[in-house]
Chain A
């Protein structure tokens, strides 16, 4: 038995379609996770206490259970509560919720990290509470949380592989199936490792570039 990449390359169109699904779900889940996570963090920071406690419980559950179990429960348990989703929507929803839980914690810490004095300075020049959130808190928090957000995006790209177990036709599902058919297990796994690592590396580089560009806004 020898390491032979040609069988993999022969199936390039299938691989590319898997890659497209991986990328699509990753980008969409990251965007939805950031949006939902921000709303959750804002409600926990500014909203009424009972709502904050309820959201906290939801976040704790999502952070305290394996993503594998969550996605199984959503896909196979969903129909019991009338939520029958196809693999791709189920995967996207599951990953987005999982991401939102983590992003909300990042944003919550970000809100707390904005110096109290920056808010007081805004109060002193007459900005309203809503203007302070929009003009001061959100921009300053964004600066503070950028590195953790990039880190979370990196984790999420790898978590998309979990979606293969509910038959989402993403890269891991497509390429490992190919490996089984062609008896090219090592080659397919190797290719997958390279693909994920490449995505993670690209994401990290983009994040660092963004940080550098924004570095002059850093806290004095």
Chain B
């Protein structure tokens, strides 16, 4: 019996800024159809890793395979790493959607305009067809009624849901979230997490960098704990959070006692 190929396979991935190496030879496989949460202290490299998967950062060495296809660089027989042509990079990237901490909606376009922009500009759909698809995605995040609003007329939570709809519009295989609720008021995080929970339930492959430990523990099927640019732990929430815990993880969770992680620290 062969296991299905992972959605994302990361091999010996390192990333340096100047002389500072922030990722040290990461090896990681992301399962298809599952929600994987990347957690860890700030500076642990979790956002950098996610940005490498989105190809917003170029790793210094190592490879990333998306659905078996090399992203950005290909390792050749002699161990040399060559940059792939732009069309191939775009092709592989098109299977990945990204949601940012700061939403990054384009302020001069309506919610619908944000969602349909790439459908028209990149995919070449007619305005009518793009609008129909865009409305379907807005419906999915519960914002059909806000389609004609500009980002400045939407709450933070609504903006982030539009950003999720924008990423979904291109029908990606994989959705990446970079601290999607970190810049939201606490009462607005729920609506965004609910949308993400629904997507996870539909079998979307998601990689979520998050500080929402409660979300990670309840929605994440895999938890990857990064520390100082290395994968320290990788397992199911049950495995990771059950006693005996890794001391570094316990130390990290203790900083979260006031964010609903207290339950995880109770003796099993």
Pick from A121, A127, A139, A216 the residue with the most CB of B within 10 Å. Answer: A121
Pick from A115, A117, A125, A143 the residue with the most CB of B within 10 Å. Answer: A125
Q: Count of chain A residues with Cβ under 8 Å from any Cβ of B?
A: 22
- Starting from the known contacts A117-B100, A118-B106, A120-B98, 5 additional A-B residue pairs (CB-CB under 8 Å) come to A121-B98, A121-B106, A127-B118, A135-B121, A139-B108
A219 adjacent to chain B (CB < 8 Å): yes
The answer to whether A140 touches B117, judged by C-beta atoms less than 8 angstroms apart, is no
Residues of B near A122 (CB, < 8 A) are: 106, 117
Which A residues between 171 and 220 are near B, CB-CB below 8 angstroms?
216-220
19 CB < 8 A contacts A-B: A115-B104, A118-B106, A120-B98, A120-B100, A120-B104, A121-B100, A121-B106, A121-B163, A124-B54, A124-B93, A125-B170, A126-B94, A126-B122, A131-B122, A140-B107, A143-B107, A143-B108, A217-B152, A220-B107
Main SS class of interface, A: helix
The residue on A at minimum CB distance from B86 is A128
A116 vs chain B, min Cβ distance (A): 9
Which residues of chain B have a CB within 8 Å of any CB of chain A?
54, 56, 90, 93-94, 96-98, 100, 102-108, 117-118, 121-122, 150-154, 159, 163, 166-167, 169-170
The answer to whether A220 touches B121, judged by C-beta atoms less than 8 angstroms apart, is no
Given A124-B54, A124-B97: A220 touches B117 (CB 8 Å cut-off): no
Which residues of chain A have a CB within 8 Å of any CB of chain B?
115, 117-118, 120-127, 131, 135-136, 139-140, 143, 216-220
The answer to whether B153 touches A216, judged by C-beta atoms less than 8 angstroms apart, is yes
Residues of A near B106 (CB, < 8 A) are: 118, 121-122, 136, 139-140
Instruction: Give CA–CA (A107, B71) in the complex, Å.
Output: 35
Residues of A near B152 (CB, < 8 A) are: 216-220
The residue on A at minimum CB distance from B152 is A220
Residues of B near A143 (CB, < 8 A) are: 107-108
Residues of A near B56 (CB, < 8 A) are: 120, 123-124
Instruction: Give CA–CA (A211, B169) in the complex, Å.
Output: 32
Given A124-B54, A125-B167, A127-B122: A219 touches B107 (CB 8 Å cut-off): yes
Instruction: Give CA–CA (A127, B117) in the complex, Å.
Output: 9
Residues of A near B154 (CB, < 8 A) are: 220
Residues of B near A136 (CB, < 8 A) are: 106
Residues of B near A123 (CB, < 8 A) are: 56
Q: Which of B93, B151, B169, B170 contacts A220 (CB 8 A)?
A: B151
